[in-house]
Amino acid sequence: MAFTAGLLAVCLVLLVAYSALLRRKKPPKGLRLVPGPKGLPILGNLHQLQPYPQRSLQRWAREYGEMFQIRMGWENWIFLNDPAVVKELLDKQSAVTSGRAPSPVASDIISGGKRFLFMSYTPEWRKLRTIVHKLLTPKASALFKPSQELEAKQLVYDIHEDQLRNDQESFYMHCRRYSTSVIMTSTYGRRVPQWDCEDVREIYTLMNEFSEHAAPGAYLAEMIPPLAKIPVPLQWWRGRALKCYHRQLNIWWKYWTTLKRQIADKTAPECFVRQYVATEYEKEGIDEEQSAFLAGSMIEAGSETTSSALNSAIKYLAAFPEAQARAHEEITRVVGDSRSPGFDDEDGLPFLRATVKEVLRIRPVTNIGTPHYTTADIVYKDFFIPKHTVLSINQYAIHFDDGRYDEPEKFKPERYLGHPLKAGAYIAHPDPYQRDHFSFGAGRRGCPGLHLAENSLFITLAKILWAFEIKPGLGPDGKEEVIDVSDAAYEDGANTVPRKYKVRFVMRNEKREKVLKEEWDSASKSLKTSNSVPT
């Protein structure tokens, strides 16, 4: 009987949902809806996005101009293809374009409504955002430069040791270890000295599980949010989702309570959470579980994205040796053989800084942008954008616009030599066409950890290119393999993650090899005699 009632309820909701999809809000007189390609019932345009969503989005941008609209399941999405549109809608009108689309399973149940990146535009989210931005300013982020440099020293040492064993693939995991250790150190003051350790297993198990549960099609209620309105006893998916939530909470809660005990014992390392606790967050009405999920969200957002960008950088530098040679020449001229580069050298390495920007342009961290959600009707020019519409930056369309970039398909860091400042300066620039790239998003949903990310990419690439020449890997026949930089060389999904590949890291000279070993030996000894990572 209960099953029959549940089935009837589901059928009713599906009928209502389908009717709603057919009923598009009509624009006021004199205005028009944003154009776009026709889709199918229920699916919308999802079937047209495979296998590489970014290329379909680029094609539609060329066809429709500054904006186009598609439907992905329940939601209408509008992609913004021009910097001026991004500035107007996501920056100037951010008060009504900073929401998140309904996510009754991935956000409301599996995340308990507490995952920072998935939270709606509520007073609580705004309080959290204010705290996070204060703790991740350029000045605050600079406090973590010593630990980033230490991790970079281990990275080049680990790569060197692998090369002695003719290992052409483990660098990929070393880059992942680096980024995970940096974000764990920054957040909780906990290093990740090797990839095979409990912290890494827990965090990546958690992230992989969440990705599986949040994947399109994992839950029907996620694709058709009105299903979440049926009576709780009839929500057949709820038990499975709640189990996932409790597993995730237990992991983040363990890290949170451990750090809280260290604070009470006055043994806590300098880190984001220690600073966060000092803000007296409880007076703002923020509870402990929310705080644990906030710190966890920082780890989730900062680990895989940075390692993916770094592995993309290595791939492109191997594929474009002329760019690599120019960066190496600059580093050698400024630094020499007697030491490896540090953050104090950054101002003297404009081509390397341009290389960081070019990596983020040619392979932005997501394929479909970071979605925002309108919380009110909007008028832009003669377009009417209804409330409850997803807005997303079409990063590939902007980054590969041949009207702005010469030969956009090529890896050419020199295009950014006229952009000497960090990304944050161009995000704040009043002229939207001065933006260097859009990998860090825009508006109130922009990436708060951009300064940490830029610092990581700079210091790792500086030390890698100082120490090694990156060459294509060798195949079974002993010949160099072609470095694949096509879309096929990247994992399927919304995030830009390179598939594993092979390269060789050839030591520049014996002097640098000696310095590399001495620097890591000194750094590792300092870790053994210190109670915390350097800050």
Average pLDDT, the chain: 93
Tell me, yes or no, whether 534 lies in a domain.
no
Which pLDDT score is estimated for 1?
A: 46
Tell me, yes or no, whether 535 lies in a domain.
no
Residue 13: pLDDT above 60? Answer: no
Residue 21: pLDDT above 60? Answer: no
Confidence of residue 241 (pLDDT cuts 50, 70, 90): very high
Tell me, yes or no, whether 409 lies in a domain.
yes
Can you name the residues that pair with 72 across neighbouring β-strands?
44, 75
Residue 4: pLDDT above 80? Answer: no
Tell me, yes or no, whether 442 lies in a domain.
yes
Interacting residues of 80 by C-beta distance below 8 A, sequence separation 6+? 66, 67, 86, 89, 90, 391, 392, 393, 394
Name the residue type at position 62. Answer: R
Residue 318: pLDDT above 70? Answer: yes
- How many other CB atoms are there within 10 angstroms of residue 350's CB atom? 17
Name the residue type at position 15. Answer: L
Provide mean pLDDT across the span 175-187: 97
Residue 8: pLDDT above 60? Answer: no
Strands annotated E in 34-168: 67-72, 75-80
Which element (helix H / strand E) includes 334?
A: helix 321-335
User: Rounded to whole angstroms, how far apart are CA atoms 373 and 94?
Assistant: 10
Tell me, yes or no, whether 533 lies in a domain.
no
Which pLDDT score is estimated for 74?
A: 87
The answer to whether 446 touches 427, Cβ cutoff 8 Å, is yes
Find the domain containing 486 and state its range.
2-528
Q: pLDDT of 419-464, one tens digit each?
A: 999 999 999 999 999 999 999 999 999 999 999 999 999 999 999 9
DSSP 484: P
For the annotated binding site for heme, the residues are: 447
Confidence of residue 387 (pLDDT cuts 50, 70, 90): very high
Q: Phi-psi bin for 475: left (phi > 0), alpha (psi -120 to 50), beta?
A: beta
Confidence of residue 493 (pLDDT cuts 50, 70, 90): confident
Q: pLDDT of 292-303, one tens digit each?
A: 999 999 999 998
Beta 503-507 vs 468-472: how paired, if at all? antiparallel
User: Rounded to whole angstroms, how far apart are CA atoms 401 and 369?
Assistant: 16
Domain tally, the chain:
1
Which pLDDT score is estimated for 197?
A: 92
CB-hemisphere CA count at 13 Å for 77?
27
Interacting residues of 173 by C-beta distance below 8 A, sequence separation 6+? 195
Tell me, yes or no, whether 313 lies in a domain.
yes
Q: Which structure tokens are listed for 238?
A: 């709820």
Of 421, 456, 371, give the one whose Cα is nearest residue 155. Answer: 456
Q: pLDDT of 61-100, one tens digit each?
A: 999 999 999 999 889 999 999 999 999 999 999 999 999 9
Gyration radius of the chain's alpha carbons: 24
Residue 7: pLDDT above 70? Answer: no
Residue 15 or residue 509, greater confidence: 509
Which pLDDT score is estimated for 521?
A: 97
Q: What is the DSSP string of 31-62?
A: -EEPP----BTTTBTGGGS-S-HHHHHHHHHH
In terms of C-beta density within 10 A (0-12 exposed, 13-18 middle, 19 or more buried), how is residue 32 classed? Answer: exposed
- Name, of 132-136, 212-216, 524-528, the range with top average pLDDT: 132-136
Which pLDDT score is estimated for 530?
A: 59
Residue 8 or residue 268, greater confidence: 268
- Pick the range with the lowest mean pLDDT from 44-58, 250-264, 376-390: 44-58
Name the residue type at position 354. Answer: A
DSSP SS3 for 496: coil
- Cis peptide, bond prior to residue 430, ω within 30 of zero: no
Q: State pTM to two decimals.
A: 0.94
Of 460, 452, 455, give the one whose Cα is nearest residue 155. Answer: 460
For the annotated binding site, the residues are: 447
Provide mean pLDDT across the span 265-285: 93
Provide mean pLDDT across the span 12-19: 54
Tell me, yes or no, whether 172 lies in a domain.
yes
Residue 17: pLDDT above 70? Answer: no
Of 130, 79, 73, give the one whose Cα is nearest residue 102. Answer: 73
- How many other CB atoms are there within 10 angstroms of residue 257's CB atom? 12
Provide mean pLDDT across the span 349-372: 97
Helices then strands, counting H and E runs in the chain, come out as 18, 9
DSSP SS3 for 221: helix
Residue 12: pLDDT above 60? Answer: no
Which pLDDT score is estimated for 103?
A: 94
3-state secondary structure 288-325: HHHHHHHHHHHHHHHHHHHHHHHHHHHHHHHHCHHHHH
The answer to whether 182 touches 306, Cβ cutoff 8 Å, is yes
Which pLDDT score is estimated for 6?
A: 56
Which element (helix H / strand E) includes 468?
A: strand 468-472
Determine the distance from the C-alpha atom of residue 348 to the mean position of all C-alpha atoms in its chain, rounded to a whole number. 28
The answer to whether 336 touches 422, Cβ cutoff 8 Å, is no
**Percentage of the chain lying above the pLDDT 90 cut:** 86
Which pLDDT score is estimated for 501?
A: 98
Confidence of residue 26 (pLDDT cuts 50, 70, 90): confident
DSSP 433: G
Confidence of residue 154 (pLDDT cuts 50, 70, 90): very high
Residue 217: pLDDT above 60? Answer: yes
Residue 14 or residue 210, greater confidence: 210
In terms of C-beta density within 10 A (0-12 exposed, 13-18 middle, 19 or more buried), how is residue 40 classed? Answer: exposed
Buried b (16+ CB within 10 A) or exposed e, 44-71: bbbebbeebbbebbbebbeebebbbbbb
CATH of the domain at 90: 1.10.630.10
Provide mean pLDDT across the span 152-163: 98
The answer to whether 411 touches 97, Cβ cutoff 8 Å, is no
Residue 196: pLDDT above 70? Answer: yes
Provide mean pLDDT across the span 324-349: 98
The answer to whether 306 touches 356, Cβ cutoff 8 Å, is no
Q: pLDDT of 84-141, one tens digit each?
A: 999 999 999 999 999 999 999 999 999 999 999 999 999 999 999 999 999 999 999 9
DSSP SS3 for 163: helix
Of 221, 212, 215, 267, give the one whose Cα is nearest residue 244. Answer: 212
Query: The tokens 């009632």 sit on which residue?
Result: 5
Provide mean pLDDT across the span 497-513: 97
